[in-house]
């Protein structure tokens, strides 16, 4: 009898355990489903899992709106929910921790308890405001304050702001005072002052239904005083101050500094969990884009429960302002170069030969980055359209055929290898030359035949293509390429701003004699960037050494040698040769001569044509030079399509003006 009783008791105990486990499993499954919906922010489906009493407490619309608004304001992401099993008991309540990333930092909130009630055969959630935040009651409000980080400034070497946060003017219309019989005349006047279409203003006004609402039209720079004063004379015009990114330097800095703009959906997805939201501004081009991580800073925020006048803290994080970036750029020099280029298609780069600091990087034509924070006038739109948006083609990071500017490298390699005897004349007959009959009808051509044997200095001064073709052939492909490599040609330039890679040839080797000969005087397939050729000539002002180029001097404060390009015993020979190009009256760049300043440099005319006999090709004009007494600047400039416009002599007056301005200021 006792055994039977014991068996009954055991069976009943097992039954109770199974029932209890079954019940626990069911509401845990409910919790897990609710948790998944919460993580997905599926508030509608979350509401469907609430108990009937809970649904009487809050409507579906209010539930969805409340969670959506709070989580959106907090910028809640990466939600996770962890059960506190050590605190769980056998009741229908599960304690848990809620974690998420927000504008106020990472939240790990304890104290949540979710309770279940059984309705029919299902378990439902007993909901109240404590499931938003544990300390919250039904009368409380969640407030979120955004702390915006200030974007870092970009400054030139002298501390002048190139990009900063400043005040712009928001121009708009107050319809209540604007409407009237003279409305059409006022619209015409505004359109004329701002150089925009009348229909643009009319559409703005027609889309507004409240005459008391300010209708924004355009933003203006604070410096646009003439437009501002004229607009303020029109009844119904309002002009308000507004914080914005502003740029100093106009078109001269556009391609280099770039601009910021509204983040795109694609960029937002790519930069997920990096502090951006749908209203964020992000660097779109130039240094604003390249230095985005340093400049943008980190926003903060304050999340709290508002209970009457009381603020109950949930989380708080201070904003961290972006870093300032100080560049080696000299804004005044940058503007002078851009002014001299006069919107001709081309590029120019200037560096300090002793430090490697990049003093200017100019692409022409360019754009004023302020147009992206203000507006684009009709005239600006026409200019952009006419130029097929060439203003946005950044030319200073492109590579080009160097023309005769490469002769410095050919001469240096010949001297370094002991092949060239500087004072030993070489007799070359005529203006055309070929090595032998294996070249067929192909000839190397020089501009003039001096009618005598020429030395290295003569060859440099007269820009003798035949002399340098012969030097390249005598060196042979391997020695020529190795020597060019000593100048960094063919190597990816280690520099903050991406610059296209230079090359000696398309395949990195030169296995044909004609190609080697052409390469020696700057044709063939050799390509250089304006920065790289300026670096090459800087060696004449720095004992044959090329310094590593530097742009961000906030971080790269120390000058260091990048390449020992020219043997020291050959530097003066090359300075004398490349100075004669300017100092001698029969030099190819004698028009650059500046009294009291010695410049060693070289013109170059790069022919862009399909064959040697092609007469329809274009020409690019070059000049590269360095001042050699107390060297301060190595400057390169290329201007495209100078054929029938003076060739490289279209460039030389511009370079002279820049050199004189910089070295005599």
Domain, as residue range, for 375: 331-664
Residue 6 lies in a domain: no
How confident is the model at residue 5, as a pLDDT? 53
Contact residues for 557 (Cβ-Cβ < 8 A; gap 6+):
none
Question: Which H helix or E strand runs over 246?
Answer: strand 237-247
Any idea what the CATH number is for the domain that residue 529 is in?
Answer: 3.40.710.10
Instruction: Tell me if 147 is assigned to some domain.
Output: no
User: How far is residue 540 from each of residues 104, 349, 413, 561, 592, measured CA to CA in Å?
Assistant: 56, 16, 14, 14, 18
DSSP assignment of 105-131? EEEEEEEEEEEEEEETTEEEEE--GGG
Catalytic residue status for 404: yes
Q: Is the dihedral of CA 408, 603, 621, 341 positive or negative?
A: positive
**Same structural domain, 413 and 305:** no
Question: Pick from 307, 325, 343: which residue ends a domain?
Answer: 325
Look at residues 106, 137, 168 and tell me which one is the last residue of a structural domain: 137
| 111 and 175 within one domain | no
- What per-residue confidence (pLDDT) applies to 87? 55
Q: Is residue 143 domain-resident? A: no
CA 601 to chain centre: 32
CATH number of the structural domain spanning residue 126 = 3.10.450.100
Assigned domain for 145 exists: no
Rounded Cα–Cα distance for residues 623 and 650 (Å): 10
Q: Do 514 and 408 sit in the same domain of this protein?
A: yes
Tell me how far CA of residue 347 lies from CA of 391, 407, 654, in angstroms.
12, 20, 12
Query: Tens of pLDDT along 456-484?
Result: 999 999 999 999 999 999 999 999 999 99
pLDDT at 612: 63
Residues 263 and 344 in one domain: no
Indicate the range of 513-527, 562-576, 596-610, 648-662 predicted with least confidence: 596-610
Are 304 and 290 contained in the same domain? Answer: yes
Q: Are residues 264 and 397 located together in one domain of the fold?
A: no
pLDDT in tens, 222-256: 999 999 999 999 999 999 999 999 999 999 999 99
Q: What tokens were used for 627?
A: 């001042």
Domain match, 487 and 440 both: yes
Say if residue 236 is in the same domain as residue 318. Answer: yes
Query: Closest Cα to residue 581, out of 605, 604, 601, 606?
Result: 601
Structural domains in the chain (count) = 3
In a domain, 479, yes or no: yes
φ, ψ dihedrals at 19, nearest 5°: -60, -45
The pLDDT assigned to 6 comes to 54
What would the pLDDT profile of 405-421 be if each residue is shown by its tens digit? Answer: 999 999 999 999 999 99
Between 1 and 505, the more confident residue is: 505
In this structure, are 89 and 221 located in the same domain?
no
Residue 620 has pLDDT above 50, yes or no: yes
pLDDT of amino acid 90: 56
In the predicted structure, residue 34 carries a pLDDT above the cut 90: yes
What pLDDT does 277 receive?
A: 82
pLDDT band at 24 (very low <50, low <70, confident <90, very high): low
Distance CA 513, CA 527 (A): 18
Q: List Cα–Cα distances, 375 to 196, 279, 286, in angstroms.
A: 10, 19, 19
Q: Where are the beta strands (DSSP E) in 248-324?
A: 260-262, 281-283, 300-307, 310-317
- Kindly give the pairing relationship between strand 105-119 and strand 122-126: antiparallel
| 339 in the same domain as 309 | no
Q: Are residues 427 and 462 in the same domain?
A: yes
Return the bridge partners of 124, or none: 117
329: Cβ contacts below 8 Å, ≥ 6 apart: 156, 157, 162, 256, 358, 359, 360, 361, 551
Query: Does a structural domain hold residue 406?
Result: yes
Instruction: Report the SS3 class of residue 608.
Output: strand
How distant, in Å, are the alpha carbons of 13, 15, 24, 30 from that of 18?
9, 5, 10, 18
Alpha-carbon 300 to chain mean position: 25
Which of 285, 307, 325 is at the close of a domain? 325
The residue annotated as part of the active site, out of 54, 404, 463, 579, is 404
Beta carbons of 372 and 254 less than 8 angstroms apart: no
Domain identity same for 419 and 293: no
pLDDT at 65 over 60: yes
What is the structure's pLDDT at 465?
97
Omega of the bond leading into 390 within 30 degrees of 0 (cis): no
Would you state the pLDDT for residue 274?
84
Q: What is the pLDDT of residue 8?
A: 46
142 inside domain: no
Distance between CA atoms of 160 and 546, rounded to whole angstroms? 28
Q: Which residues contact 543 (CB under 8 A, 6 or more apart)?
A: 568, 571
Q: Distance between CA atoms of 638 and 620, rounded to whole angstroms? A: 7
């Amino acid at each position: 009898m006792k055994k039977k009783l014991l068996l009954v008791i055991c069976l009943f105990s097992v039954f109770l355990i199974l029932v209890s486990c079954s019940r626990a499993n069911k509401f845990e499954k409910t919790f897990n489903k609710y948790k998944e919906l919460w993580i997905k922010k599926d508030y509608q489906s979350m509401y469907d899992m609430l108990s009937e009493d809970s649904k009487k407490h809050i409507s579906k619309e209010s539930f969805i709106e409340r969670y959506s608004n709070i989580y959106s304001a907090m910028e809640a992401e990466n939600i996770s929910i962890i059960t506190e099993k050590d605190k769980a008991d056998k009741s229908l309540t599960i304690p848990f921790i809620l974690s998420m990333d927000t504008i106020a930092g990472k939240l790990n909130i304890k104290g949540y308890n979710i309770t279940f009630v059984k309705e029919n055969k299902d378990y439902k959630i007993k909901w109240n405001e404590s499931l938003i935040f544990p300390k919250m009651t039904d009368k409380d409000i969640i407030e979120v304050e955004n702390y915006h980080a200030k974007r870092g400034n970009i400054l030139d070497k002298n501390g002048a702001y190139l990009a900063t946060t400043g005040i712009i003017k928001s121009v708009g219309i107050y319809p209540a005072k604007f409407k009237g019989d003279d409305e059409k005349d006022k619209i015409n006047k505004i359109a004329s002052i701002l150089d925009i279409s009348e229909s643009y203003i009319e559409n703005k006004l027609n889309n507004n239904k409240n005459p008391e609402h300010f209708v924004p039209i355009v933003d203006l720079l604070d410096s646009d005083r003439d437009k501002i004063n004229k607009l303020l004379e029109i009844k119904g015009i309002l002009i308000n101050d507004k914080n914005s990114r502003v740029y100093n330097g106009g078109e001269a800095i556009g391609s280099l500094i770039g601009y910021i703009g509204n983040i795109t959906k694609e960029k937002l997805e790519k930069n997920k969990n990096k502090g951006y939201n749908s209203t964020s501004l992000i660097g779109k081009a130039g240094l604003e884009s390249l230095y985005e991580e340093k400049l943008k800073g980190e926003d903060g925020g304050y999340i709290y429960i508002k209970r009457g006048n009381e603020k109950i803290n949930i989380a708080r994080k201070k904003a961290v302002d972006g870093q300032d970036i100080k560049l080696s750029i000299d804004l005044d020099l940058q503007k002078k170069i851009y002014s001299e280029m006069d919107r001709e298609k081309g590029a120019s780069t200037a560096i300090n030969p002793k430090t490697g600091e990049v003093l200017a990087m100019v692409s022409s034509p360019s754009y004023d980055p302020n147009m992206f924070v203000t507006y684009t006038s009709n005239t600006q739109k026409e200019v952009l359209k006419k130029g097929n948006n060439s203003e946005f083609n950044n030319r200073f990071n492109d590579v080009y055929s160097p023309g005769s500017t490469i002769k410095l490298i050919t001469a240096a390699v010949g001297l370094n290898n002991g092949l060239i005897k500087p004072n030993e004349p070489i007799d070359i007959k005529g203006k055309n030359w070929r090595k032998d009959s294996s070249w067929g009808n192909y000839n190397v051509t020089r501009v003039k035949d001096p009618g005598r044997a020429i030395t290295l200095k003569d060859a440099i001064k007269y820009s003798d293509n035949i002399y340098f073709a012969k030097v390249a052939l005598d060196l042979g492909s391997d020695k020529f390429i190795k020597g060019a490599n000593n100048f960094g040609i063919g190597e990816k330039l280690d520099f903050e701003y991406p610059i296209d890679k230079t090359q000696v040839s398309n395949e990195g080797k030169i296995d044909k004699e004609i190609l080697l000969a052409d390469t020696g005087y700057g044709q063939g397939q050799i390509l250089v960037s304006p920065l790289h050729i300026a670096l090459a000539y800087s060696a004449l002002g720095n004992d044959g050494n090329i310094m590593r180029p530097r742009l961000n001097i906030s971080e790269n404060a120390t000058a260091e040698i990048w390449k020992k390009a020219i043997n020291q015993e050959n530097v003066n020979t090359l300075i004398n040769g490349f100075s004669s190009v300017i100092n001698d009256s029969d030099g190819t760049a004698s028009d650059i001569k500046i009294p009291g300043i010695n410049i060693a440099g070289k013109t170059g005319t790069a022919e862009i044509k399909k064959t040697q006999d092609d007469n329809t090709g274009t020409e690019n004009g070059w000049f590269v030079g360095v001042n050699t007494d107390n060297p301060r600047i190595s400057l390169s400039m290329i201007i495209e399509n100078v054929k029938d416009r003076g060739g490289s002599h279209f460039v030389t007056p511009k370079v002279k003006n820049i050199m004189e301005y910089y070295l005599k200021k």
